[in-house]
A and B are shown apart, each in its own frame.
Chain A
């Protein structure tokens, strides 16, 4: 018998992950032991504290890691400046995301179902809503997802990457299904996300199996070494090539690149909006960081030995990048729903990121990090704005007692996500409109916003990699993308809100309110929601002839406003004085331990 040797563990390097995942576990205990009155506050404080703590540990680690990257727990966690930078960005974006999630607005309701397991339209759901139940489990779920993302972005071991992929995905599947309103859409989004996500992770793990068959190890650096030794490359290279392809496909799915993007618009539309913002920003950071690590570490090995395989891999990435940009921008042009539009914008951004990555040279890693930060800030901010623009149903005659009433009359319903409904928002809420405009301009890459510097970096990466024509395509695509961002801006600022809101229900529905809510706050009608026609009725706002729908902006209770302000200020600062942050991410291009 050999002696058991206790592994040496660098606890400080693990600290950011331990803080976040540990807080997730504590959050589960809070669900069990803390009285209901203070549970929500406790969860929010814990989540925010954990993310801030994780960021503090990352800041402490940074100077040390920049000088000397470390491998922790026998290489399961590889802390390079790039990985640590990605972790830091995830922590910051998740902090902002949790702020948006925590905001109940002046309506006193958050975006989540009082009892997510209740069947929409049943008396039980009604009871849960009336008794003010809240699903505070979302905060531990968010923390687990964040922990998974941070691990996903910083591991060298493909099997750890697979576990991290699941740790980040499973909570997100559940979170997608928890929307307070439009619950059928929300559940449908969760099902689509789950089935496609499970399929993608099965592809990923089979790819890992094939790579293991080729190299006899699942550590990326060791795989690169085995390839360099060139031992089994003759005849067996098919295992390596198909394995790497499957792994890359699994990652591209998470990134949301065409042709693996089909879930993105549906899931982004159906999920509760604060979760969409969180997911769009943080998952993208984690997935792109993991993709970069896999591609670059594999390319270290393959590039020297077999330039052919390397070129094929590059062609795959280039083709996917082109497809992603084209589909993202062209299909984005014709969207009429704000959340869908932002989803296609996120697909287009995946394309721009891939343009940078396709250059396969080291400086790209720092520009990729900057891009992810700029994109994430704009995305979380934009979705936070979407959570505040609501429909309000006004009943002529008596007031409503069904649900809390904000300032003014009527009942605040779900989000007004049709772009046409946003007409005249510039007058109703100038600051909010200005912030949203700023986020859109940053996504479009207009100078003096963070998006410009980010895109400049990504396209520079492609040109220094010798793919100048790809960079030109990227610039063209982003010019086209400007068109659809500007379209929204024109509607918001220059179009007048309909002066005379529609007086009948049918007209209101025609005005674009058809993506609807569930029975939440809606007029009780005869006919059970579980009946055959339930799917249709549950997705429309029901309005009677005495009612009309107007678009209103609810006031944030604070957290979301703070998040929007921070995102907006950071977007401007990163656009005007990018050098401090650029200097930081510059250090991140030291990549291999």
Chain B
């Protein structure tokens, strides 16, 4: 199978993730969109590493995973704090700051 298919798949996953971030209203789902984008990036890294025949890309994928994990910790903490105050995780309800 042509290896560029994986690049196309990565791009499609990335686009789905970005669309999720821009269109969905629940903070958790928005955050899942970001995670999908990061995983699409991992796929792209690994595919390009295979194309170029060097290991850098595979190592980079590990870095991205670690960062994604760290982001989950901080992000969920913030979202849960808001949820405990307001009983809602919708980004539409978070609208006190305007102007």
Could you tell me the distance in whole angstroms from the C-beta of B64 to the nearest C-beta in chain A?
6
- Asked if B97 and A188 sit within 8 Å, CB to CB, the answer is yes
- A265 / chain B contacts, CB cutoff of 8 Å: 97, 99
A190 / chain B contacts, CB cutoff of 8 Å? 78, 81
B85: A residues at CB distance < 8 A = 119-120, 183-184, 187, 530, 534
Contact with B along A329-363 (1 / 0, CB 8 A): 00000011100100000000000000000000000
Closest to A215 in B: B52
Chain B proximity mask over A524-538: 1 for CB below 8 Å, otherwise 0: 000000100011000
A33 and B27 alpha carbons, distance in the complex (Å): 36
Cα A194 to Cα B79 in complex, Å, equals 9
* Distance (whole angstroms) from the CB of B27 to the closest CB of chain A: 6
Question: How far in angstroms is the closest Cβ of chain A from B13?
Answer: 10
By a CB distance below 8 angstroms, the chain B residues around A194 are 74-75, 78
Interface size range of chain B in the complex: 35 or more
Please, how many angstroms separate the alpha-carbon atoms of A365 and B84 in the complex?
Answer: 47
Cβ contacts under 8 Å, A198 to chain B: 31, 34, 71, 75
Cα–Cα, bound, A269→B45 (Å) = 38
Knowing A188-B94, A202-B38, A202-B41, say if A212 contacts B60 (CB, 8 Å). Answer: yes
Query: With A170-B71, A174-B74, A199-B34 known to touch, is A188 a contact of B41 (CB < 8 Å)?
Result: no
Q: How many A-B residue pairs have CB under 8 A?
A: 136
Known contacts: A170-B71, A194-B78, A195-B91. The answer to whether A202 contacts B37 by CB under 8 A is: yes
Let me know if B9 is at the binding interface, CB within 8 A: no
Give Cα A217 to B60, complex, Å. 11
Enumerate B43-63 residues with CB–CB distance to A below 8 Å: 44-45, 47-48, 51-52, 54, 56-57, 60, 63
Q: Is the CB of A173 within 8 A of B34?
A: no
Q: Is B16 an interface residue (CB 8 A)?
A: no
Looking at the assembled complex, report how far the CB atom of B42 sits from the nearest CB atom of chain A, in whole angstroms.
8
The SS class assigned to the B binding surface is helix
Residues of A within 8 A of B74 (CB): 170, 173-174, 194
A119/B84 contact (C-beta < 8 A), A159-B60, A209-B44 known: yes
A191-B38 contact, Cβ under 8 Å, with A210-B44, A535-B86: no
Chain A residues positioned under 8 Å from B23 (CB to CB): none
Query: How far does the alpha carbon of A138 sit from the alpha carbon of B37 in the complex, in Å?
Result: 30
Chain B's nearest CB lies how many Å from the CB of A345?
Answer: 15
In angstroms, Cα B40 to Cα A194, docked, is 20
Per-position contact with B for A151-176: 1 when CB-CB < 8 Å, else 0? 00000000100110010001001100
Residues of A533-556 at the interface with B, using a CB-CB cut-off of 8 Å, are 534-535, 539
Q: Does A185 have its Cβ within 8 Å of any Cβ on chain B?
A: yes
Neighbour of B30 across the interface among A195, A212, A335, CB < 8 A = A195
Rounded to whole angstroms, the CA-CA distance of A535 and B87 in the bound complex is 10
Contact with A along B60-99 (1 / 0, CB 8 A): 1001100100110011011101101111000101111111
- What residues of chain B lie closer than 8 Å to A216, measured between beta carbons? 48, 52, 54, 56
Q: A210-B44, A213-B51, A530-B87 are in contact. Are A188 and B75 (CB under 8 A)?
A: no
Known: A166-B70, A187-B82. 17 other contacts (CB 8 A): A173-B74, A174-B77, A185-B97, A187-B81, A188-B94, A189-B97, A194-B74, A194-B75, A195-B31, A195-B34, A198-B34, A202-B18, A202-B37, A202-B41, A216-B54, A340-B99, A534-B85
Top 6 nearest A-B pairs by Cβ distance?
Answer: A202-B37, A213-B48, A266-B97, A209-B44, A216-B52, A198-B34
- Can you list 26 A-B pairs with a CB-CB distance of less than 8 A? A116-B81, A162-B67, A166-B67, A170-B70, A174-B74, A184-B85, A185-B97, A187-B82, A187-B85, A188-B82, A188-B95, A189-B97, A190-B81, A191-B78, A195-B34, A205-B38, A205-B67, A209-B41, A212-B45, A212-B48, A213-B7, A213-B48, A213-B51, A266-B97, A530-B85, A530-B87
